[in-house]
Structure 1
């Protein structure tokens, strides 16, 4: 994460002047590279070059955009990807569409604190006052909203359970408790997720979710929370079985506690067995 932030703060010459495309530069439409993971699955497949950050080639835009993927994985703002890709991979239309200032401000206000966790400010190349105020030629403005998730500086880590009693207390406080197996995918530069869910998924507690929703939400977690998944797999590079607990906010699962399921962790099996008859107090 720190290395990525160092890269994205490097000086880049911009092509964006007073909210308009610089007429002195010729532009062309190219296919968004498959290995440009940041801007896949947004509903369009071609981008205009030079882009708003002055990148002349698809390779340069892809290399620079990769620096933002770890921040995006922290899920600091639901529209961060849209904002960033409007700069790195502008949609190729007859009329240029600029990102709105309000969108920039909303993303900055949510994501800059995460960058601050690692000692880095919001980069000067993305100062929001350079973007036009909301009008017909800009992308849809995104107002500030209390629904925007408040990302945390704390990354999830594998923990050791002291006792089955402690685990049952954690289960009671959590929205969900699930036992799952992570399987490492073949390396793919176009995918954010590095692991997939195994076929067997044991949901001990689904909380506000319907039982059948858990697999889909966990698949989304695998893609978006790369930092957490990386911490879990640090000592399990090929995957493994884990017990996860956490909270549910809208469509988002937030993993608060994670334990590696192994014979050495006998407390996990004991707590899982007792949970079926356990009654939470309060």
Structure 2
């Protein structure tokens, strides 16, 4: 009952905010010429780990600061818990934290088809509590696909993507056997971390993985220069990650990960990446097993 009450209050608050902004402008919120790119806040749980690191402000709801966008977006997190549509998060983040593409001077809006799919699936959930689809989410305001826009994950016309493109081949780094191979390759790897992942983003043909918070170092066998390079970049790299799929990076970036890798040309290259799917007690036991190895 507490969860249902929170959902009702949150949706009501956002409906009022969106309706008030809609009253100020008959169309989508216009973006001033002096728009800026800002990092997606780690506290913005709705869009944390969405697949890109920077958002364009003002966003499509007129929020002018990361703090304002984060505060307003928090009210929609409970709706995601209802799992009304697999692209609900993608749609909401396209509005609250639109991806920042340097070559464009304005935010990329969600495609109309994405809006309609999420609306049709999630509106019944909202209506059950007496709340309408917010006017600022009016799907007629968004491109029909002829212009650049953010499509749904399964949309056949993918004009732009904010996630790492998935190939039909599974990345060796993220293979199902990776957990066993972590134990086998622990001693031969230059570094090993237990970490949480904050975000990841494509960089050319590779994927840049950014840890969240402090990582626990399980193994670190590099020289001073490599250590300094690692400290400066604070990122892990999945080579050719855009041409294969990595299950460890699919869905929400929650829970603990174990990463193995080597330093190469000043970058920390991943050899194995595993998202721990079992209990924390078993993870601690697995880590003790790794540390007991005579490397």
The interval holding the TM-score normalised by the smaller chain is 0.3 to 0.5
TM-score (norm 2): 0.46
